[in-house]
A and B are shown apart, each in its own frame.
Chain A
Amino acid sequence: MSMSDHGPSPKRRNPVLPPRRPTLPPVARTRHALGLSAAAAIGEFALQECRECGAVQYPPREACRSCLSDMLTWRPDNGAGTLLASTVVRRPYELYFREHAPWPTGLVRLDCGVSVVAFLHRACPEAEGRVRVRAYLDRAGRAVLVALPEQEVPDMSEDPLLKAFGNAPKGRNVLVTDGRSDLGQAMALAALKAGAETVWVGVSDPWKAPPGFKALEETPGITVLSLDVTEGQSVETLAGQIGGKVDILINTAEFHRTHSALSRRGVETARAEMDVNYFGLLRLGQAFGPAMCSRAAEKPKNAVAWVNVLSVFALANYPQQGTFSASKAAALSLAQCLRAEFRSSGLRVLNVFPGPVDEDWNQLELPPKLAPAKLASAIVRALEDGIEDLYPDPIARDWHERWRADPKVLEMELTA
C-alpha cells in the first residue's frame, strides 16, 4: 500500500504523550493590509499603487505617501528586486517561530521603489544580489513575502520555508472522497504522482465499477474504500477507520445536473444536488474536520489541507445550471465557515472554482472545457503553493475577474 521509494512510514505517535498543540504565526493585520493576503490567496503578489500619482506603497496604508491621495489600488508586481541586507532570526518571540527557528529574513529593495521585509529562500544570493519576491500564505492564512533566487534552482520547493507555507501531497496521506468521476480518478493519480504516501479513494457503490475504476483499484499506492457522502453512517464509519491519518482531504463528490429552476417540476434533483454538494460537505466536515485539526501540528506528518472542488458558478448563478449553481454557492458558504473554524489549528482550506469541466453533464457547454487530468494537476500545484482559492482555467479566471470588478454587472451579463 505504501510506496517504498518514499521512505519508511513515520513512527506512530506515543499515545501517552500529550498531543502537540497547534501554534500559529501572528494573524493580526490591519484591514488595509489584508489586500496583500487576498492577492496571495490566489497566488498573486500585489502592491498598492496610487491612482493619482502612481507611487507604489509598502507597507500597505490608507493614504499615498507621495501625494496624500486616498485612491490606492492593488496591482500585481513582478517582485523583482535587490537584496539589501540579511539576517537569521534565531530567538523569535512567538512560539510558532520558536518551534521552527531559525528564520532567514532580509530587506529587499523592489525595482518599483519600495523596501520590503521578506523571508529568504535558502538559495538566495548574498546581499546586493538579485532576487524575486513572491507572496505566500503562512499557516495562519496571512500573506508573507518570500525572496526567491532570481532563477529556478534544483529542489527549489524543498526549502523549509516553502514546505512550511505549502501543503504538498508529497509523503502525505490523501483521501479523495469520490473516485467514480473522471476527476476523482485523475485526482487520485495526480496525488500519487506528486508523491503522496497513501491515496484513499472513496466510492459509494463499488460493485457498479464505473469506467476506469478497475485500473485505479489495481494501482499500487491507491486503496479504494466505501464512502457515500449522502449517508451519515458511511461517512462516520470511514472517519473512524482512517480519520486520524488523513493529511489532505480532497472532496470531489459532486451531483451535477443541468437544469434551471423552471425546467423541471419538483425539487428532487435540486435536493439530490444539495445532499451531495452541500450536506455531503457538511457531513465530511463534521466527521473528518476535528480529527484533522487535532493533527495539524503533529510531527513528522501532519494534517495540512482540505480541498473543496466547487464551481465558478458558486460565485454567481449560471441560470442554465441554476440549481447546481445554488448548491455550489451553498457549499462555498459552508467552505468559508470550515476555513474559519479550521483557522486556529493551521489546517488550510483550498477552494477550487473550475469553469465547465469536460464531463458528461457539460456536454452542451461550448469549449474550452477543462480536462479532468488538467484540473487534478492544477489542484496539486495549488496545494504545493499553499494558495487558498484556485481558478484553474481561462473561463474560471474570466468569471473571477468580472466578479471581482463588479458582481452585479456579472449577474446582469449572465441573465441577459
Chain B
Amino acid sequence: MSRRLGYDGVVLASPVTIPYERFSTRGAHWFLGRAMRALVETSGLDKAAIDGLCATSFSLAPDTAIGVTEHLGLSPRWLDYVPLGGASGMIALRRAARAVQTGDAEIVACVAADTNQTDSFRRSTAAFSQFAQDAVYPYGSGGPNASFALLTDHYMRTFGARPEDFGKVCVAQRRNSLDFPHALFRSELTLEQYLNSPLIADPIRLYDCVMPCAGAEAFLVMREETARTQGLPHVYLLGAIERHNAFADDPIQERGGWAADRDDLFAQAGIGPGEIDFLQAYDDYPVIIFLQLEDLGFCGKGEARAFVQDNDLTNAGSFPVNTSGGQLSVGQAGAAGGYLGLVEAIRQLSGQAVGGVVPDARYGLVSGFGMINYDRGLSTGAAVLAA
C-alpha cells in the first residue's frame, strides 16, 4: 500500500457543544448559528478569519452548506457539506485537514447540528434513502432499531455475545456520563436495569437505543502555528481513514470498513492499538462498538465479548470507551452524533475536559459509523489524535 501524505502540522482546537434538548422548536440553522458563535467566542478569532466551513446536518433541507453561509454571514473560500451521519466527524476532519495543509483554507470550522421536532425522526426515517424507502421501511417501519436488531441478532448467533456483554458497555458509558454536563441521562444504570428494560426490536432493548434530540457539536481545524499564535489548546491529527460500502458481498454485516483500512491508519499514525489511551467509538448501537473493537485491531474477530468482560471501560478503567457517556447517555443530536466523540477527544487530549477525565491520556482513537442505506452501515471512519 502506498503511504499517504501525513497530516503533519494540522491541529484541532476549540471543541464546542451546544447543549442538547430532547425536542426543539428551533431549526438546524439556529443550532449551527449557536455553534459558530461559540467557536468565535472560545477561539477569540474574528468571524471573518474562519475561511473554511464544513457543515453537517440532516435537518437543513432544503438548504445545504451554501445556505448556511448566507444565513450566518460567512464568506469562506472553501466549503464542504458532509451529511454522512455517524461518520460525518471523521470525514469532515479529513477534508478540513487537507484544505488547511494545502493552504486552500487557513481555519476551517467543522460544524454538525440537527434539530429534533416531535415527528421529525419518523419523517426522516421514512425517506432516509431510496433503498430504505423501497425495501426496509415498508417492513414494519422499525427504523434503525430494526436494522441494528438484525445485525445484533446475527452477531450474537455467530460470535456468542450475550445481552450482559452489551449491557456492560451501556452501564460503563452511563458511569462516564455522570459528570458530563451535556448528557441527557445522568443517573446510574445498573446491569439489572439494562437486562430488564423492554425489548424494542429483539434482541435490541430500550437501553441499547440512543435518544434522538437536538443539539450541535463543532471544532476548528488549523495549522499548529495558527493555534499557537491564538494561544489555543489543540491536539494533533496523526492519522485518519474513511471507507464506504466495504465488503458489499458479505451476506450480512459482521465487519465494517475499518477492517480494510486499520493497518493504513496505524501506519500513518506511527503507533499501534496498544498505545491508545481511550476509544471514542460510535455507539448507536452497542453491537457496533463490538465491531469497532475488533475491526480497529483491539481484539480479534469475535473476541469483543471477552475484551469487554476483561476490561473496565470507565474513565478510570483499563480501557476507557466513550468518556462523555457517548450517544447512549448524552443523546443523539442527529448528525452531530457523528461529531460527539471527536469533540470529546479534543477536550480530553487538550486538558479541556468538562466531565470525567482520563488521566494522562496521550493518544485517543475516534471512530465513526453511519448511513444504513439499506441493510448495513455504509460509511466508516477513524482518526488517531495525540495530545
Chain A: residues with CB nearer than 8 A to chain B? 25-26, 28-30, 33, 58-60, 65, 84-94, 97, 101, 103, 105-107, 109, 115-119, 127-128, 138, 142, 144-145
Q: List CB contacts (< 8 Å) of B186-231 with chain A.
A: 198-204
Q: Complex formed: what's the CA distance from A105 to B140 in Å?
A: 8
Q: How far is the CA of A30 from the CA of B134 in the complex (A)?
A: 7
CB-defined contacts of B204 to chain A, threshold 8 Å: 87
CA A115 to CA B151, docked complex, whole Å: 13
**Count of CB-CB pairs between chains A and B under 8 Å:** 122
Whether B133 lies near A103 (C-beta < 8 A) is: no
| Residues on A with beta carbons closer than 8 Å to the beta carbon of B121 | 93
In the complex with contacts A30-B133, A84-B251, A107-B375, A119-B157 CB distance below 8 A: no
In angstroms, Cα B251 to Cα A106, docked, is 13
Query: With A59-B374, A86-B153, A89-B146 given, is the CB distance from A30 to B130 under 8 Å?
Result: yes
Complex-state Cα separation, A87 to B154, whole angstroms: 10
A87 touches B138 (CB 8 A): no
Given contacts A90-B199, A92-B142, list 4 more A-B pairs with CB under 8 A.
A86-B153, A93-B141, A105-B146, A118-B139
Known: A26-B133, A28-B133, A59-B374. Contact between A85 and B252, CB under 8 A? Answer: yes
Residue-wise, chain B 80-120 has the 8 Å CB interface mask toward A (1 for contact) of 00000000000000000000000000000000000000000
- Which among B134, B143, B154, B252 is the interface contact of A33 at CB below 8 angstroms? B134
Cα separation A39 to B357 with both chains bound (whole Å): 59
CA distance A142 to B143 in the complex (A): 19
- B139 neighbours in A (Cβ, 8 Å): 89, 103, 105, 117-119, 144-145
Q: How far is the CA of A269 from the CA of B383 in the complex (A)?
A: 81
Chain B interface residue count, CB cutoff 8 Å, equals 38
**Closest chain B residue to A96 by CB distance?**
B141
Residue of B nearest to A60 (CB): B134
B residues near A, CB below 8 A?
A: 121-122, 125-127, 130-131, 133-143, 145-146, 149-151, 153-154, 157, 198-204, 248, 251-252, 374-375
Partner among A25, A89, A97, A115 whose Cβ is within 8 Å of the Cβ of B252:
A115
Q: Which of A60, A85, A93, A118 contacts B126 (CB 8 A)?
A: A93
Evaluate contact between A117 and B135: CB separation under 8 angstroms: yes
B157 in complex: contacting residue of A87, A127, A138, CB < 8 Å: A127
- Contact present for A87 and B201 (CB under 8 Å): yes
Question: In this complex, what residue of A is CB-closest to B199?
Answer: A90
CB pair A26–B154 under 8 Å, yes or no, is no
B157 and A85: CB pair below 8 A?
Answer: yes
A127 to B200, CA, bound (A): 19
Contacts of B142 in A (CB 8 A): 87, 89, 91-93, 103, 105
Contact A97 B141, beta carbon cutoff 8 Å: yes
Complex: A117 Cα to B151 Cα, angstroms: 12
Cα(A119)–Cα(B134), bound, Å: 14
